[in-house]
Chain A
Amino acid sequence: MKLFFPSAILIAALALGPAAARADTDTDAEVAAHRAVLDLAGAFTNDGFKLRDGDHTGTLKPGEALVIQVNLYAGNQYWFSVGTSDPKTMVSVQLYDETGKLLKTDPYTNANRAATGFAPDASGPYYVRVADTLGTPATYCLLYSYK
Chain B
Amino acid sequence: MIVSRRILIGVLALTGIHAWAADEAVSQLSPADLAQAVKQDNFSVPTPGELLAALNKVGKPNWQAQYRAPIPTAYTSRPQIALNLGGLIADGYIAVEAEDSQQVKNIGKDILTLAKTLGINQNVLRRGKSIEDFAENNEWSTLKEELEATQNEVKLAMDEQHDEELTTLVTLGGWIRGTEAVSGWIANNYSGPAAKLLRQPAIIELLRSKLATLPPKTQEDELVKGLDPRLKSLQDMVSFPPGQTPSQADVKKLNDAAADLISSITKR
Residues of A within 8 A of B (CB): 2-7, 10-11, 14, 50-56, 66-76, 92-94, 96, 98, 100-102, 106-111, 114, 116, 122-125, 127, 129, 131, 133, 142-144, 146-147
Contact = CB atoms under 8 A, between A and B. Distances in A.
Interface stretch (B29-37, B67-75, B213-221, B253-261): B29-37
B46 A71 contact: yes
Given A3-B2, A7-B3, A54-B42, A123 B28 contact: no
B242 interface: yes
Contacts of A74: 54, 193, 196-197
For chain B, the bracket of interface size reads 35 or more
Given A94-B25, A101-B28, A102-B25, A147 B37 contact: no
Contact of A67 (B24, B38, B45): B38
B38 A52 contact: no
Given A74-B193, A124-B242, A147 B53 contact: yes
The 10 closest A-B pairs by CB, nearest first: A54-B42, A100-B29, A73-B54, A125-B202, A75-B57, A68-B38, A94-B25, A7-B11, A122-B242, A4-B1
B223 interface: no
From A2, A3, A56, A67, name the one whose CB has the most chain B CB atoms within 10 angstroms.
A67
Contact of A71 (B8, B15, B53, B202): B202
A116 B21 CA distance: 10
A37 B145 CA distance: 18
Given A10-B11, A53-B145, A73 B51 contact: yes
B58 A100 contact: no
B44 interface: yes
Interface of B: 1-3, 7-8, 11-12, 15, 17-22, 24-31, 33-34, 36-40, 42-47, 49-51, 53-54, 57-58, 141, 144-145, 148-149, 152, 193, 196-203, 206, 242-243
A127 B37 contact: yes
Contact of A122 (B3, B27, B50, B196): B196
B43 A92 contact: no
Contacts of A7: 3, 7-8, 11
Contact of B28 (A67, A100, A143): A100
B222 to A, nearest CB: 30
Contacts of B141: 50
A146 B53 contact: yes
Contacts of B18: 109-111
B33 A100 contact: yes
Given A94-B22, A102-B26, 12 more contacts: A11-B11, A69-B37, A69-B202, A71-B202, A75-B58, A92-B22, A102-B27, A107-B20, A109-B19, A123-B197, A129-B29, A133-B24
Nearest to B150: A53
A7 B226 CA distance: 51
A10 B67 CA distance: 40
Given A53-B145, A75-B57, A146-B50, A124 B201 contact: yes
